[in-house]
Amino acid sequence: MEKREFIKIAGLAGVAMLSNPTGILANSRKKQSLERSQAPFTVPALPYATDALEPHIDKLTMEIHHDKHHAAYVKNLNDALALPANSAFASLTLEQILAKVAAKDAALRNNGGGHYNHSFFWEQLSPHKTTPSDNFKAAISKTFGSWENFQTQFNDAAKKVFGSGWAWLTVNKQKELEISSTPNQDNHLMEGLGYKPATPLLGLDVWEHAYYLKHQNRRPEYIDAFWNVVNWPVVEKRWKQA
């Protein structure tokens, strides 16, 4: 290409960028998005800013929890799926992987569970105060006696997790609401590990990385703070779908 022609094309490109910078940037972002989607699994973006849940969940915890811990689960999951020994899992959805894992599939169990649980967790949090509907509160009260009893039982399940794990509100196959807990990154989708199948509605991460920067060893304080940021419309949507 001659120098004069190159300068002309470069000049036209510059004019195009000035006249429509967002279009060019949008195309760039679209290309990056397409490239990321080629990987088996990716870390979902948070639906709010990392400081949006302050003062209940602090900004630094959210940054480390999402950008470091969750990202590590996704990387390790993708690495495990690339191994020949795990080829039977490579074309499955995340839910199908979790349903199929056995005790011998430690990397898929731990990292697949970590990816699912954290994706689930981010979605159910909101920087805006939300309240459960009367219908959902009535269903909760019918099962647990009252809304207050439900919160107390859920809090107890979270407090009693020994070490790291999760507390859950689920719907079982009989359409009954239940409170439970699981160790590490396990969840009720893991039927191959002997868990009674159930649909998660609400989950609380009680690994220390979820709260230690702000609350140190005061897990009950973190559990109390959690209730201030629950996105009840998301929880109820899951309930209706179940």
Question: What is the Cα–Cα distance from 116 to 192, expressed in whole angstroms?
Answer: 16
3-state class of 82 per DSSP?
coil
Binding-site entries: 65, 118, 205, 209
Q: What is the pLDDT of residue 6?
A: 37
Q: Where are the alpha helices (DSSP H) in 48-167?
A: 59-64, 71-81, 94-100, 106-123, 134-144, 147-159
Query: Helix 3-19 and helix 21-37: axis angle, to 10°?
Result: 90
Q: Residue 8 has what pLDDT? A: 42
CA dihedral angle for residue 156, residue 54, residue 210, residue 32, rounded to 10 degrees: 140
Element (H, E) at 180: strand 177-183
75: left (phi over 0), alpha (psi -120 to 50) or beta: alpha
The answer to whether position 130 is within a domain reads yes
Assign residue 143 the CATH number of its domain: 3.55.40.20
Q: Please, what are the averages of pLDDT over each run of 10 residues along the chain (242 residues)? A: 41 40 36 40 97 98 98 97 94 95 97 98 97 97 98 98 98 97 98 95 98 97 98 97 94
In a domain, 53, yes or no: no
Residue 47 lies in a domain: no
CA atoms within 13 Å, Cβ hemisphere of 240: 10
- The pLDDT, as a whole number, for residue 36 is 33
Three-state DSSP at 198 gives strand
Q: Which run of H or E residues covers position 221?
A: helix 219-226
Domain with 235 in it: 58-242
Structural domain count of the chain: 1
Backbone φ and ψ for 200, nearest 5 degrees, come out as -70, 135
Does 207 reside within a domain? yes
Would 217 be classed as within a structural domain?
yes
The two tokens of residue 166 are 């999760």
Q: What is the pLDDT of residue 39?
A: 44
SS3 state at 168: strand
* DSSP structure string for 18-73: HH-HHHHHHHHHHHHHHHHHTSS--PPPPSS-TTTTTTTS-HHHHHHIIIIIIHHH
Q: How big is the CA angle at 107 (ends 104 and 110), to the nearest 5 degrees?
A: 100
Closest CA to 196 of 179, 219, 215, 221: 179
Q: How far apart are CA 222 and CA 232, in angstroms?
A: 18
* Dist CA 205 CA 233 (whole Å): 19
Q: How much is the pLDDT for 27? A: 40
Binding-site residues for Mn(2+), in ranges, read: 65, 118, 205, 209
**pTM listed for this prediction:** 0.83
